[in-house]
Amino acid sequence: MSASGRVAGLVPAAGAGLRLGGGIPKAWRPLAGRPMVAYAVDVLAAVCDVVVVATPPGYEADGAVNVLGGATRAASVRAMLAALPPDVAYVLVHDAARPYAPISLASRVLAALRSGERAVVPVLPVVDTVKLVDAASYVLETPDRAMLRAVQTPQGFERALLDEAHASAADATDDAGLVEALGVRVLTVAGDELAGKITTPADLVAASGLR
């Protein structure tokens, strides 16, 4: 894999985002006068040669190639992969719901790919105690939080590896999980506190005060 290969940024933004409400798709909810997806496009455009957004019907993202998204996140990623030119060597997949993710975070992930890693995810240490529970909500065990990490985006991959991971048409909320299923090691790099995910109306209110 050439360390100088072209880079594509993918934004799966076709979901409804029902928990956020508002009557429009989550990625198009306004934040400081712009749809959230615009910030994801900005971050990826700073380090990528091409940015592709998977959209719901009737929506388009400025500054990106737009493709119609699928019924699931994984289906949207597959649609975007199919739209990439053949000379793309690396892919960064980024959530539209992380509008504060800094360019330095995307650069850190890409640098690890160019150094020879095949799959890279940014992470933060888990600060809360975490419980594993059963279907009846009884605690099964308390994992050692020193071994736990909260995963962020953008996640980075060799393009050929991500193509292979999605070839099974399996569903997943995390591209790295599909890569792990192939038996490929995934490197973690330092995440960023600014790259938190907007999921609820309270998250959006808090985020609006930061832009």
**98 or 171: which carries more pLDDT confidence?**
98
pLDDT of residue 202: 47
Residues 6+ apart with CB under 8 A from 184: 118, 119, 161
Q: State the pLDDT at residue 21.
A: 53
Angle at CA of residue 178, ends 172 and 179, nearest 5°: 155
pLDDT digits (tens, 9 = 90+) for 78-93: 999 999 999 999 999 9
**Whole-number pLDDT of residue 6:** 96
Tell me, yes or no, if the pTM score tops 0.85: yes
How do residues 159-211 score in pLDDT, each as one tens digit?
999 999 999 878 888 899 999 999 999 999 999 999 999 875 545 555 555 55
Determine the length of the chain: 211
Per-residue model confidence as pLDDT tens digits over 35-68: 999 999 999 999 999 999 999 999 999 999 999 9
Q: SS3 string of 104-168?
A: HHHHHHHHHHHCCCCEEEEEEECCCCCCEECCCCCEEECCCHHHCEEECCCEEEEHHHHHHHHCC
Domain ranges of the chain: 6-208
CATH topology of domain 6-208: Spore Coat Polysaccharide Biosynthesis Protein SpsA; Chain A (3.90.550)
